Structure 1
Amino acid sequence: MQKTGIARILQLGRILRCIAGSYQERGWAVTVEIIGQERHLWTVSRRLVHRRAVAEVFVTSLEQLSSSEFAAGVQLPRTHAFFGDHSGVSEYQYDPLAVMEAARQAAIAISQQYFDVPYRVAYILRTFSGQATDSTGWYIGGTPADLLLTVRVSRVRQRDNVVHGLDMTLTAERDGEPLMAIDGTFSWLPPDKWSALRTDVRKQLGLGEFDGSPAPGPRAHAALVRRKDPRNVVIGPPVVDAETARAALVVDTTHPTLFDYQLDHVPGTLLIEACRQTALVGLGVPDLCLRSVSSSFERFVELDIPAECVAVTTDSSRTGGEVTCRVVQHGAPAAHVTLRFKR
């Protein structure tokens, strides 16, 4: 029995020495180093990336390279209920929005781990863009995709000597081959300031305290937006007039990925996806793959009043196209998204 107990202690010690990543909660932190170059043993704490389901955590390790440079391990699953639900050629490739989600998670984790941002803050995504390469690394193979994100903080935003935002550039590679270049502007607010901001914004719109969103409206047919699962359709039946496609935003706050972490507004990932789906309808060209995203968010999109996605095709051919989108609510644009597709 004594030998068994010692063996278990030694085994636990080996596990702790190998853990990649960090853990932060309730004011205390435990940080453990990466051993060798193994970055994909398991995920970091779900709290570090503001996820509730462990299965939605893509970041597997964190490492500080300098005061402004960091590395993050990422593993993309070969199947995913949302990011892996596509038809046509996209069915056999990883979704660029999955890589951008991993980058978003890495940005949140780095801000907490290395810039002393408390866990209980609300993050605000102001700009978010990504440019995919033509790498064969996008294709789904016999093993999950182990990625390395190289992260550079290009600007630290401070107010009264307190950090409240970061500008970041992130480069994703797979097996040493560049996959995607991403950049984003992130900021955050403590709970009291977030509550005051949201109350003021809703008051300006003539809205009271948020008490729940209505049931989702009718959705477009899944096949029309290159999806298989109707639950992943986030726009209503679209209307196309020449180069312009329009569709109502469909928001399901029970969606296990888009609302894994409960929010009082529509998340940026859903807005970008709504633009992609509306853009695909407007282009009307089969087997197109998303290759670049450029997005900026001017206002919150509320959950309890209608919003519309408007997509204007600015360039189109049989091999691809570019679409400029905006999400409009309460008569004003809330988000601008430009997408480029390629066959």
Structure 2
Amino acid sequence: MPLQSEHITGLTHSRPLPPATVHKAAQDQVLLTDARRVGANRFLMAALWPDDHALYHPDAQGKGDPSFVVESVRQAAIHLSHGFYAIPRAERAFVLDQFGVEVLPPGLPHGHGRPLPVVLDISCSHTVARSGRADMSLEADVLIGGTLYARAAVRWVVMPSRQYDVLRRRNSPTPTAGSRRLGSMPTVPLGPEAVGRRLTRDVLLADAPDLAPLSWLLTMDQTHPVLFDHRSDHIPGMVLFEAMRQAAHVAGGGGTGGPQRVDAQFECFGELDVPVLITAEATGDGPGAGSLVLAAQQGDRTLARVRVARSAYAEAVPC
């Protein structure tokens, strides 16, 4: 259904939403600025993508970072749950199940030194069990200047804390001899340029002796202002996603083609004190300039899998 212009023009991009409404601690990590219901399960949300974000930045060709899309819809999922579906903030745990993002040609724009106003046109669905568990999903069109630049979908689960505690105990890896061996290896972090980032603190991949080609160990700085904005009892999903985004950049040779489509599935909670192996494998069976399948392995379990289809877009159209 087409959007009414008054719906979009009525949104404000003037200030971020309160951090607690998107489960953030720092105000400068909040991307969303406004939200309104325009149908029974349809919403418009405004976001402002900063030009000077602490982690996300344009690539060498000037295309915007698709991680902005992922983080925007992740925050949207949380805000909708609390603000429009009456999910309590206390005694509830949010578990990210899967997400997908498709970036349309010619790639995401950037703001040329100014924040970039964005509108998310969202359709949401949810079911609530008698136990209090809510299974939720959304699909979003990402509009910039009235033009569709990307599509995204997210599935997540909200459950009472007691259910989460049971799931957390059952769905955790068991350390193996191999993981203990990984933990004893000397590691050398990759350079920021190699993983498509600007700062050493942003690097999540490290080389180690005897690793197979296209394999790295996850290295985490738990004081990172973006990736560890607040405390967690497990490796955050966005940390795993960023690590595999970096692995895709390395495996793709650091070329100019950014991700055209990303599909992520989260399977298991990762422990913060057990080594994680990140692997990449070229498949060649997806759209774009090439496809990669990435995985995060800890002990005897796979924590997450990501499929990345790389694009070969020309220079992005600036806004």
Q: Which residue, 195, 199, 205 being the options, matches 1:229? A: 199
Task: Say if 2:30 is the partner of 1:61.
Answer: no
Query: Structure 2: 5+ residue runs without aligned partners?
Result: 1-6, 177-182, 313-319
Give the drift of 1:240.
Answer: 11
1:188 alignment partner in structure 2: 158
Q: Could you say which structure has the greater relative contact order, defined with CA pairs below 8 angstroms and 6 or more residues apart? A: 2
1:45 alignment partner in structure 2: 18
Give the drift of 1:194.
Answer: 2.2
Task: Give the distance between the partners of 2:241 and 2:107, measured in 1 at CA.
Answer: 24
Q: Which amino acid aligns with 1:310?
A: T
1:315 alignment partner in structure 2: 284
Deviations 1:160-184 (A, max 9, x none): 1845121111111001101110001
Q: Which amino acid aligns with 2:275?
A: P
For 1:275, what is the secondary structure of its paired residue?
Answer: helix
Q: Which amino acid aligns with 1:249?
A: L
TM-score, scaled relative to structure 2: 0.84
2:256 alignment partner in structure 1: 287
For 2:207, what is the secondary structure of its paired residue?
Answer: coil
Paired residues of 1:87 and 1:228 also in contact (CA < 8 A): no
1:105 alignment partner in structure 2: 75
What are the within-5 Å matches in structure 2 for residues 246-285 of structure 1? 246-285=215-254
Give the drift of 1:298.
Answer: 1.0
For 1:138, what is the secondary structure of its paired residue?
Answer: coil
Task: Give the distance between the partners of 1:58 and 1:93, measured in 2 at CA.
Answer: 18
For 2:119, what is the secondary structure of its paired residue?
Answer: strand
2:138 alignment partner in structure 1: 168
Deviations 1:17-61 (A, max 9, x none): xxxxxxxxxxxxxxxxx9961421211111100000000000000
1:157 alignment partner in structure 2: 127
1:114 alignment partner in structure 2: 84
- CA separation of 1:222/1:298 partners in 2, compared to 1, >3 Å: closer, same or farther? same
Give the drift of 1:205.
Answer: 2.8
Q: Which amino acid aligns with 1:185?
A: R
What CA RMSD, in Å, does the superposition of the two structures yield over aligned residues? Answer: 2.8
Task: Say if 2:97 is the partner of 1:126.
Answer: yes
Paired residues of 1:239 and 1:247 also in contact (CA < 8 A): no
The structure in which a higher percent of residues are helix is 1
Paired residues of 1:135 and 1:177 also in contact (CA < 8 A): no
For 2:244, what is the secondary structure of its paired residue?
Answer: helix
Paired residues of 2:234 and 2:271 also in contact (CA < 8 A): yes
For 1:152, what is the secondary structure of its paired residue?
Answer: strand
Task: Give the distance between the partners of 2:254 and 2:145, measured in 1 at CA.
Answer: 32
Task: Say if 2:111 is the partner of 1:140.
Answer: yes
For 1:102, what is the secondary structure of its paired residue?
Answer: helix
Aligned positions, number:
296
TM-score, scaled relative to structure 1: 0.79
Runs of 4+ in structure 1 off by over 4 angstroms are: 238-242
Task: Say if 2:152 is the partner of 1:197.
Answer: no
Q: Which amino acid aligns with 1:291?
A: Q
Higher mean C-alpha deviation, range 131-140 or range 222-231 = 131-140
Query: Structure 1: 5+ residue runs without aligned partners?
Result: 1-33, 208-213
For 1:276, what is the secondary structure of its paired residue?
Answer: helix
Task: Look at both structures and tell me which one has the larger radius of gyration over its CA atoms.
Answer: 1
Task: Give the distance between the partners of 1:163 and 1:299, measured in 2 at CA.
Answer: 18
Task: Give the distance between the partners of 1:61 and 1:307, measured in 2 at CA.
Answer: 37
- CA separation of 1:206/1:250 partners in 2, compared to 1, >3 Å: closer, same or farther? closer
Deviations 1:173-219 (A, max 9, x none): 001101110001111122333233323445x7379xxxxxx9x9641
Task: Give the distance between the partners of 1:73 and 1:163, measured in 2 at CA.
Answer: 28
- CA separation of 1:288/1:135 partners in 2, compared to 1, >3 Å: closer, same or farther? closer
Q: Which amino acid aligns with 1:106?
A: A
Q: Which amino acid aligns with 2:22?
A: V
